[in-house]
Amino acid sequence: MKILATYNIKGGVGKTATAVNLSYLAAQDGLRVLLWDLDPQAAASYLFRIRPRVKGGGKALIKGSREIDDSIKGTDFADLDLLPADFTYRNLDLVLGATKKPTRRIARLLAPLSGEYDVIFLDCPPGISLLSESVLQAADSLLIPLIPTVLSLRTLDQLTDFISSFDGQRPQVLAFFSMIDRRKTLHREIAERLPTERDDVAAAAIPSLSQIERMSVERAPVAAFAPNSRAAQAYQALWAEVRSRML
């Protein structure tokens, strides 16, 4: 079982769209996939038409007083399940803080699912917190969507430095450009140059496309409702690269 987290300190960079589409494509590839929507905004749950509610809330889940199994919901797609968001996830930092070894907590919760799933995607809320630290510790790989600006590259370096300070196992990092605006020269330049210069930046990239925004209307992965669209093809290329580099 591999754990992949989509993560960025910034919000609105395409984390959820990536988690939703890649988990769908992974399931289409025949892998057994679970997506955990950790963001109290519940966008991934919404996109799969699943109500953002977990019995006992985030507290029961994190403390282990309720089986994680009982809260998992099947999506409309074969081999793809979702652990929904819950509004109480906004307090996860406090709950984690009250446990022993909080940064190892997510990894421990997911360990029993290893027989059941091949891949678990974690869709993280933005920010840097105890929760994100626990996610970074649990993940085998981090997928970091970047908007092609100088500042976001700085953030990537900060994150890489932070991870290299971990003891023991460190997640593999793969950044990729997201929401590329072809009309902006800076976007084009950075998105073309960086993958050739840096190993941890993927060649595949996700342009800013209206089909991706339509996901919130269709409430489904773009690869499901518009499989031949440019958006779906971009996610497919990204999934192919993630699969070959990280699984």
* Interface ranges with other proteins (CB under 8 A): 48-51, 71-74, 76, 81, 219
Q: How far is the CB of 74 from other proteins (least distance, A)?
A: 4
Q: How far is the CB of 225 from other proteins (least distance, A)?
A: 13
The HSE-up count of residue 94 (CA atoms within 13 Å, CB side) is: 7
Q: Which is nearer to other proteins, 73 or 90 (CB)?
A: 73
Q: Which is nearer to other proteins, 73 or 214 (CB)?
A: 73
Q: Which is nearer to other proteins, 48 or 176 (CB)?
A: 48
Q: Which is nearer to other proteins, 84 or 145 (CB)?
A: 84
Q: How far is the CB of 14 from other proteins (least distance, A)?
A: 24
Q: Which is nearer to other proteins, 72 or 130 (CB)?
A: 72
Q: How far is the CB of 49 from other proteins (least distance, A)?
A: 4
Nearest CA-CA partner of 212 in 31, 63, 13, 56: 13
CA distance 14 to 27: 20
Q: Which is nearer to other proteins, 50 or 174 (CB)?
A: 50
Q: How far is the CB of 2 from other proteins (least distance, A)?
A: 19
Q: How far is the CB of 72 from other proteins (least distance, A)?
A: 6
Q: How far is the CB of 70 from other proteins (least distance, A)?
A: 8
Per DSSP, the residues of the chain read -EEEEE--SSSSSSHHHHHHHHHHHHHHTT--EEEEE--TT-HHHHHTT-----TTHHHHHHHTSS-GGGG-EE-SSTTEEEE---GGGGGHHHHHHTSSSGGGHHHHHHGGGGGT-SEEEEEPPSS-SHHHHHHHHH-SEEEEEE-SSHHHHHHHHHHHHHHHT-SS---EEEEEEEEE-TT-HHHHHHHHHHHHH-TTB-S--EE--HHHHHHHHHTS-HHHH-TTSHHHHHHHHHHHHHHHHH-
Q: Which is nearer to other proteins, 48 or 239 (CB)?
A: 48
CB-based contact 126:11 (threshold 8 Å): yes
